[in-house]
Amino acid sequence: MDTALKEPRLKLYTIFAGLFGVILVLSATTSVKIFAIGPFTLPGGVIFFPLVFIFNDILTEVYGYALSRRIIWTGLFCYILAGVTYLIVQALPPASFWPHQEAYTQILGFAPRIMFGGLIAYFCGEFANSYILSKMKFKQGGLRGIKQGWRFVASTMVGEGVDSFIIMIIAFYGVIPLSALFTTMATLYVVKVVYEIIALPFSTRLANWVKRVEGIDVIDTPETTNYSPFKSITS
């Protein structure tokens, strides 16, 4: 097992970093649309956002907590950059022949409470997910098969739970009735966890394929791993 990674030899890490940032921004942008399937109403971002946790599982499983932490921070910067860009463009005066300023504001306009809630939820949920998976992998000795699948699911259940609770409370507490708030929260959580379980055969196989391509399979140890989310991302 690798105990120290030399990044120049990594073949797929930067690809994952790019995809991670794109999926995170897409999940935030598409969440402005609410769709209905039968009696259930869900934000469009539910299609993309669980992929962020699946990618986090794969990254932590293959590269370890430290390099996963770097991509989590990169995703956070992408999220902030997208929000600031939307805000700047929203503030620019519309051309006289362009009648869609109100539509732009409604779809991509800056909503401080929702954006703040999303940032906090993402930060806490992603680091909880990565921490749990890293710890479980160490305790399981890096075993694959059922144990690998269980740590993927268990870490996502924790991370998605933290994310769903924080975003719903910060963004919507006092805005919608409590009963609707907790019903929506529970529905989102269940959908995200089921999504992870359905994707499990793909995500574990992809993780093991990446291990073969990269030639690494990092197991974080308590002696060598600093689990602080705020440790420098350049180290």
Mean pLDDT lowest among 47-51, 88-92, 129-133, 198-202 = 47-51
DSSP helix/strand/coil, 221: coil
Beta strand 40-43 with 34-37 is antiparallel
Q: What is the tens place of the pLDDT at every residue in 14-53?
A: 999 999 999 988 888 887 787 888 877 778 888 888 899 9
* pLDDT reported for residue 178: 85
* pLDDT reported for residue 235: 57
The label of the residue with tokens 């399981």 reads: 140
Assign 92 a pLDDT band (cuts: 50, 70, 90). Answer: very high
Closest CA to 203 of 147, 130, 149: 149
- Answer whether 0.85 is exceeded by the pTM: yes
Assign 111 a pLDDT band (cuts: 50, 70, 90). Answer: low
Domain coordinates in residue numbering, the chain:
7-214
The amino acid that residue 220 corresponds to is D
Closest CA to 187 of 1, 37, 70: 37
Task: Name the CATH topology of 7-214.
Answer: Arp2/3 complex 21 kDa subunit ARPC3 (1.10.1760)
Do you know the residue count of the chain?
A: 235
DSSP helix/strand/coil, 25: helix
Q: How far apart are CA 118 and CA 164, in angstroms?
A: 9
Q: What is the tens place of the pLDDT at every residue in 130-163?
A: 999 999 999 999 999 999 999 999 999 999 999 9
